[in-house]
Structure 1
Amino acid sequence: MPDPIKIRATVKGDEGDVRVLLPHPMESGQRRDAAGQLVAAHFIVSVTLSLNGKPVIEGALGTAVSVNPLFAFQLSGVKAGDRLSVAWQDNKGQRGQAESSFVAA
């Protein structure tokens, strides 16, 4: 089982600050292992950030993103207790998802 997604969601006034760490190998398919064999491509292709069940950010990723990507977002109109969820899918069909609540900063 992969490492869990880490989410930090804080709110000050009605401005939310979100940081998301997505544990993933993010292999481009161009690196070689110690034996000289190509390491198969394995990378996140899509990420969705939802607030209280409604998508607010959708993004497409590719091979140029580093291992264990960290993303930061700012959202307006949020309050403590609002639910934030993050979901991703990679090029091999694997998926990850996590949920957290905004807390006062």
Structure 2
Amino acid sequence: MSDPIKIRATVKGSDGEVRVLLPHPMESGQRRDAGGQAVPAHFITSVTLSINGRPVIEGGLGTAVSANPLFGFQFAGVKAGDKVAIAWLDNKGQRGNAETVFAAG
């Protein structure tokens, strides 16, 4: 995946919000190209979101998720400057990750 992950983290008081856009084709393996050939499956299988190095959300994805998925998460007890990291792994062994810090919103 050549496009970078887009991640935005804001905090108001002690409530934080993280929005993540994961650029990925998310092919199910059931679609056919113009020549009638099956497009091979290529999708994210796992996602981990960490705050200050501690995993707080881990999830599994499958073929039913659209291309370039957008996720939003809300947290309590965070503050500006806390580090947010996201990492994913797909069914072909490719990985992606990004990090940022919570900014006052």
TM-score by length of 2: 0.99
Residues 60-82 of structure 1: CA deviation (Å, up to 9, x unaligned): 00000000000000011100000
Answering whether residue 46 of structure 2 is matched by residue 50 of structure 1, we say no
Distance 1:58 1:2 in 2: 24
**Counterpart residue number, 1:32:** 32
Answering whether residue 55 of structure 2 is matched by residue 65 of structure 1, we say no
Query: What is the aligned-residue RMSD (CA, Å)?
Result: 0.6
Number of positions where the alignment pairs a residue of Structure 1 with one of Structure 2: 105
TM-score by length of 1: 0.99
Give 5+ residue unaligned stretches, structure 2: none
Distance 2:8 2:98 in 1: 11
Structure 1 outlier segments of 4+, above 4 Å: none
